[in-house]
Amino acid sequence: MIRRFWQSAMIGLARSPSVRHFMQTSRATSGVRSRYIAIGDAAGAVARAQTLWHDAGIRVSLFYLGEYVDDPALVEENVEAKLDAARMLGAAGLDVHVSVDLTQVGHMLDPGLARRHLDALAAAVGEAASGRPGLHVLMLDMEDRSVVDATIALHDELARRGRPVALTLQANLERTADDLERQVRRGSRVRLVKGAFPEPRSGTFPTRAAIKANFRRLIDQMLASEALEQGFYPIIATHDERLIEHAREHAEANGWPVGAYEFEMLLGVRETVARQLVSEGERVRLYMPFGHDWWPYTARRIGETPANAWLLARSLVG
């Protein structure tokens, strides 16, 4: 109950224009900002990605910040920033891996506009990759339940047309096992996350323990021998070391070679675990947001657990 209240409160603050303005202009918030965000433009984010790759063998997925956008000018800004990120990643010889929210590329204005933007972004990823080895994809992030069906449908449409796309699914939703089964049969690339949006109780798992138990079941589904035969590519996004170890054991038991799946973590969260996994031969990617509209994303990270309240409080009191 406390966790759900805290998460809902932080989502409310994330979407408040006045709070967003204060948080993004106050010097007092620099600590909370720098923890989770690669400050700067695409060039700065790619430079940081190069450092992570060359120093630690860690890959990245770049995400230009901005969500629930209903301003056409901001939609265009979001798309251009993501196009820049794809081109620069390709020029740097890194994985061309760019994440996108449906609501930041025009879905709230016109679903057809969002479809066209996603197609252009996916085409840019393919062009920038130039046939090099690596996981080159436009990763469709998952937002609240109101856009789940639309996000899956657009992913499937782009995949049918041969675009390099991947899909995010959330362990906190009861429907995800069925959604995942369909993607396994398609041989898709799927990132599994816990889910950072407070949802109505109907159709969701009510507690952290229940979500974690479902996450474990979904890992088993992703790393089944049948999924390997279908050419499915699992991306397990968690910082929970028990879930990570469970996934590694399940992958080994079912014949998954290292490199046929990967782990993903958030920039600024338990990066020592990421580095340790790489040292043990695993493929690891960090989700790296960049840009100036950083408060909504950071608020969701803080809202994932009440224990993060101290981070917010400490940033505001200096």
Mean pLDDT over 19-43 rounds to 70
User: Is 91 a residue whose pLDDT tops 70?
Assistant: yes
Per-residue pLDDT reduced to its tens digit, 13-30? 666 777 666 666 666 566
Taking 80 as the threshold, does the pLDDT of residue 64 lie above it? Answer: yes
First-to-last alpha carbon distance for the chain, in angstroms, is 30
- Which tens digits make up the pLDDT trace of 153-189? 999 999 999 999 999 999 999 999 999 999 999 999 9
> What is this structure's pTM?
0.88
- The DSSP call for residue 29 is G
Q: Which pLDDT value is given to residue 172?
A: 94
CB 29 within 8 A of CB 253: no
**Do 231 and 261 form a contact (C-beta atoms < 8 A)?**
no
β-strand 137-140 against 97-100: which pairing, if any?
parallel
CA angle 47, 52, 56 (to 5 degrees): 155
Give the right CATH number for 38-293 from 3.40.50.720, 3.90.950.10, 3.40.50.1000, 3.20.20.220: 3.20.20.220
Higher pLDDT, 294 or 87: 87
Beta strand residue intervals within the chain, DSSP E: 59-64, 97-100, 137-140, 165-170, 189-193, 233-237, 262-266, 284-290
User: What would the two tokens of residue 276 be?
Assistant: 């340790």
Amino acid 70: pLDDT: 87
214/240 Cα distance (integer angstroms): 14
Q: For residue 50, what are its two tokens?
A: 């190069």
pLDDT at 202: 82
Looking up tokens 């973590």 gives 265
Give the CA diameter of the chain.
54
